[in-house]
Structure 1
């Protein structure tokens, strides 16, 4: 050390005297180390400040990008929802038209079947008439022969052979005319029967083509409904709510079923069996009723963000973390967002305010009771703008962001509880991003 910092003397001269201060190697080393430490501390502090400024700018840019992507996704999903609704309406109109045509075809088939039965009955009657006339002709000939023999035996030659021949010719002419009329009638009936059979075959072919077209329409409707229902069911499953429970509760709360979604019932007076098309149509209508119930169920879930994404940033997630006050690893039952004081806090879903008061650790707290046993907590508020028992809707302001209670800064502590058990709020927020 003496080689690096040799002993120095600092002379101090006054009016009459001269003094000196001895700077030993240890004192010089301590001074140099102090200067170096102060310079290093200044460099490190400046670097930390610069990194904090750069990080804050990056987070703001990222939040703006996420907001733009979120809005774009909302617009895209809204357009897809409208397109699916238009497709459903068009498909329902096509289905109604197809059912009308099917009804008309069934009526035509029934009419043709009745005409065919009438023609067959007429043909049978004509055949029986021809047989009866033939038998009467034979009986008349037999009686004529018998009468002729009787007259010849009793009176001798009362009638000549010419008279008998003339009578026989007249009888034969009458019978030939009658048989000709019967033959023409039979021919006309046969032609009508053949036309009825051809028309029945044509109607049967049209019915088969109509069935094929109906099958294609039903298939497209079923695929469109599944493309709408599957994302909605995934939303409920990810939120921990059973789709069956949603359908049951929504339908129980409905006063009446929509007229356009009621099952189709067509009376055929026992002449036709149950139609597969009607069964498929009723199944489609039932699935459309499920879509209606799911959309009503989505409106009753807390799936919206409780704060504006442009003005806040998430500071703590759901799960284990080091407590900012105690320093211990504890379970964090919700999400924390930091932002300016009095940033609007919004209701994440429709419900009734259960609690609106100050509590110890939570500070100013608002608890909203939603359907399906779900509650949302909004803690550390600077102000409370609702009262207990008040009904609120999604997006209504319930207070302002603050730092009341056990808090280290201005932020919102947000919880979602299902039947009293805390769950990850991100599950509901992500579920809402798939729909709205």
Structure 2
């Protein structure tokens, strides 16, 4: 009862009795708002507000549900549209294959023959490349054996597929050899692009501006022409780098000799002080054959201070090799020498403590580490 009394007292404090006076037509009327009436009006207002809140919340929930449903409907529609497009594409592909299969064998044979001519041009450019025969022989053998016991139309189709396999094998060989040659140049401390021909690469298959022009010239489909052109470009790059490598001193200057002192600072055998050793030493028996490491022209033969009997060969493009401490010299200045040609015999002339070859490589007037070139040449094979 005490709680009820306190609640009643609080409500009467919140809603005290109020008097409202209204004057109308010269008369004054009074209206008494008791706490009970005020409480009833407040209850009605609260109920109305609650009802409006519930209605608003229901409306918002309905709108959100409708938006989610619309999004689901849009996603479902898009999914079915993709499904229909995929089925249509498959149907079109099937119809195309059916039409191709039902076409005449003469058209297919002409297509295979034209592709064969283009492929023959490509393989002609690859002829003679080291390792090409070993890489392509298995694919060629499979192509020759393709469909020997099959029907003529099926045999033509198998030959066409074998042509694509052969093209892929040729392109793969060219790319792998090109990458190997780039690695050889980098091992020697050289930039491969500096030894590529300036301007566009030559060759009948890559002279056309694009694959469309080549397809028109060879009368083959554009996709096969693009693949032919890419493979020819890879082969041309490979041939250019291979030709450059044949002009550079990548070979070993002697065979069977033990490599001793390397390039760099070492203790001088005479002064016992640190000194730059600008070459690579190979120890061996007297008159062990010495070979030129790259084609070039003999620029000097004779005695140089500290080097003893020496041969120097100019290889062009700023490359020069030096062979020192020789016992015999078998070439003369101005003589053109070929790769691997014997030019002298090992000895111990000049500033030397024993029979050995002192070998140097110079590029644009600066001594290089011959080990890099020797290792690169070993990888070149």
TM-score under structure 2 length normalisation:
0.54
Give 1:229's match in structure 2, choosing from 166, 178, 185: 178
Tell me if structure 2 keeps the 8 A contact 1:377–1:415.
Answer: yes
Match of 2:276 in 1: 331
Decide whether the 8 Å contact of 1:221 with 1:284 is kept in 2: yes
* Structure 1 residue ranges without an equivalent (≥5): 1-80, 96-205
Q: Give me the whole-angstrom Cα distance separating, in 2, the residues matched to 1:245 and 1:88.
A: 30
1:303 aligns with 2:250: yes
Aligned 8 A contact 2:298 2:336 in 1: yes
> Helix, strand or coil: the match of 2:350?
coil
CA pair 305-431 structure 1, distance change in 2 beyond 3 A: same
Q: Answer yes or no: is 1:429 the counterpart of 2:374.
A: yes
Question: 8 Å contact 2:325–2:350 — kept in the other structure?
Answer: yes
For each residue in 1:43-81, what CA deviation from the matched residue of structure 2 results, as whole angstroms up to 9, or x when unmatched?
A: xxxxxxxxxxxxxxxxxxxxxxxxxxxxxxxxxxxxxx7
> Matches of 2:351 and 2:312 in 1, distance apart?
17
Residues 348 and 356 of structure 2 are in contact (CA less than 8 Å); yes or no, is this contact kept in structure 1?
Answer: yes
In the aligned structure 2, how far is the partner of 1:401 from the partner of 1:210? 58
Query: What are the superposed Cα offsets for residues 178-215 of structure 1, whole Å, 9 maximum, x if unpaired?
Result: xxxxxxxxxxxxxxxxxxxxxxxxxxxx99x9998876
The Cα of 1:421 is off from its aligned counterpart by: 1.2
Query: Does the C-alpha gap of structure 1 residues 293 and 89 become closer, same or farther in structure 2, counting only changes over 3 Å?
Result: farther
CA distance in 1, matches of 2:355, 2:134: 46
Structure 2 Cα separation of the partners of residues 328 and 225 of structure 1: 50
Where do 5+ consecutive residues of structure 2 fail to align?
1-128, 144-155
What value does the CA root-mean-square deviation take over the aligned residues? 3.6
Q: Decide whether aligned partners of structure 1 residues 232 and 351 sit closer, same or farther in structure 2, where only a CA change above 3 A counts.
A: same
The aligned counterpart of 2:225 is: 278
TM-score (norm 1): 0.48
Structure whose CA Rg is larger: 1
Contact conserved, 1:367 with 1:377, CA < 8 A, in 2?
yes
Give 1:322 shift: 0.2
| Structure 2 match to 1:191 | none
Native 8 Å contact 1:334 1:414 kept in 2: yes
Q: 1:415 aligns with which of 339, 360, 377?
A: 360
CA distance in 2, matches of 1:213, 1:337: 51
Cα contact 2:136–2:169 (8 A) shared by 1: no
Contact 2:171/2:235 (8 A) holds in 1: no
In 1: Cα distance, 2:223 partner to 2:142 partner? 17
Shift of 1:369: 0.9
The alignment status of 1:242 with 2:191, answered yes or no, reads: yes
Supply the distance in 1 between the matched residues of 2:343 and 2:167 (Cα, whole angstroms).
47
In the alignment, the residues of structure 2 paired with residue 93 and residue 283 of structure 1 have an alpha-carbon distance, to the nearest angstrom, of: 24
Counterpart position of 2:133: 85
Cα distance, 1:222–1:327 mapped onto 2, change above 3 Å: same
Which digits, 9 at most, give the CA deviation of each residue in 1:92-145, with x for residues without a partner? 9999xxxxxxxxxxxxxxxxxxxxxxxxxxxxxxxxxxxxxxxxxxxxxxxxxx
Q: Is contact 2:247-2:315 (8 Å) kept?
A: yes
Offset at residue 388 of structure 1 (A): 1.0
What is the alpha-carbon distance in structure 2 between the residues aligned to residue 277 and residue 358 of structure 1? 61
Residue 382 in 1 paired to residue 331 in 2? no
Count of aligned pairs between the two proteins: 238
Conserved 8 A contact 1:306-1:345 = yes
Measured against aligned partners, the alpha-carbon deviations of 1:369-419 in whole angstroms (never above 9, x if no partner) come to: 113321111011112111111111122121121222111222111011111
Question: Where is the helix percentage greater, Structure 1 or Structure 2?
Answer: 1
The whole-number CA distance in structure 2 between the counterparts of 1:396 and 1:419 is 24
**Secondary structure at the residue paired with 1:285?**
helix
Identify the residue that residue 318 of structure 1 maps to in structure 2: 263
Q: CA deviation at 1:225?
A: 2.2
